[in-house]
């Protein structure tokens, strides 16, 4: 399953990092500006090299912090899946990619049945455990580095499945159900259920309409439970 940091943001950092590493040459250019030439003595060369290495280390540390901040801004704190912001960014990217490559793209909206009952009767800690167990099942089932998974809020989740049809998406959700049912706690008691709406991107369809159809399909499935 792909990371929750937006590819565009990661690419921007990567491009900036190459330019920032040029700062390692600053000590040499400073020496040229001050003395009119490069160092001559071995000790002076060692000083310039050490200064450049320190700059590289500081730049690397700063870039790592940048990536961490971007990842946290696009991650759900409880489950570690992508959050709503990450979903909105990924949805746009995947729709463009699907059209460009003439490949199917399926969006799955997932909502838990009777989740409020768990929170009311067992407490919010039990509810949080349920959400984390569902997230773990999602990670186990979806294809790493291809599919994307998100928690949109509350007990609502979404999957973006590039190259998959709606029928294939239903099979993915069935495997997620099986993983949850085979788990422990509330899932094993059969109290919870999973309603889902799976829709495939249509020609010329906007991302907003794509989401609207998935949302409607999910609510239609929920009415039958």
* Residue numbers annotated as active site: 155
The DSSP letter of residue 202 is P
> Is residue 150 within 8 Å of residue 84, measured between CB atoms?
yes
Listed residue (190, 79, 210, 192) closest to 138, CA to CA: 79
The CA angle 138-207-215, to the nearest 5 degrees, is 55
* Structure tokens belonging to residue 46: 């060692």
User: Could you give the CA distance from residue 156 to residue 72 in angstroms, rounded to a whole number?
Assistant: 19
> Is residue 190 within 8 Å of residue 197, measured between CB atoms?
no
């Amino acid at each position: 399953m792909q990371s929750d940091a937006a590819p565009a943001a990661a690419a921007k950092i990567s491009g900036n990092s190459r330019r920032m590493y040029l700062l390692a040459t600053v000590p040499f250019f400073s020496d040229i500006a001050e003395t009119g030439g490069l160092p001559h003595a071995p000790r002076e060369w060692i000083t310039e090299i050490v200064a450049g290495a320190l700059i590289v280390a500081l730049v690397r540390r700063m870039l790592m912090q940048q990536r961490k901040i971007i990842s946290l801004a696009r991650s759900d704190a409880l489950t570690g899946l992508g959050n709503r912001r990450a979903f909105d960014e990924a949805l746009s990217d995947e729709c463009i990619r699907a059209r460009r490559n003439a490949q199917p793209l399926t969006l799955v909206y997932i909502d838990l049945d009777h989740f409020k009952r768990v929170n009311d009767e067992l407490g919010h800690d039990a509810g949080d455990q349920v959400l984390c167990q569902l997230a773990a099942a999602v990670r186990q089932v979806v294809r790493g580095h291809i599919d994307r998974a998100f928690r949109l809020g509350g007990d609502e989740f979404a999957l973006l499945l590039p190259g998959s049809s709606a029928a294939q998406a239903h099979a993915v959700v069935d495997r997620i159900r099986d993983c949850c049912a085979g788990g422990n706690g509330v899932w094993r008691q059969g109290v919870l259920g999973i309603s889902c709406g799976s829709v495939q991107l249509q020609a010329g369809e906007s991302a907003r309409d794509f989401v609207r159809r998935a949302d409607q399909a999910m609510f239609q499935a929920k009415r039958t439970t």
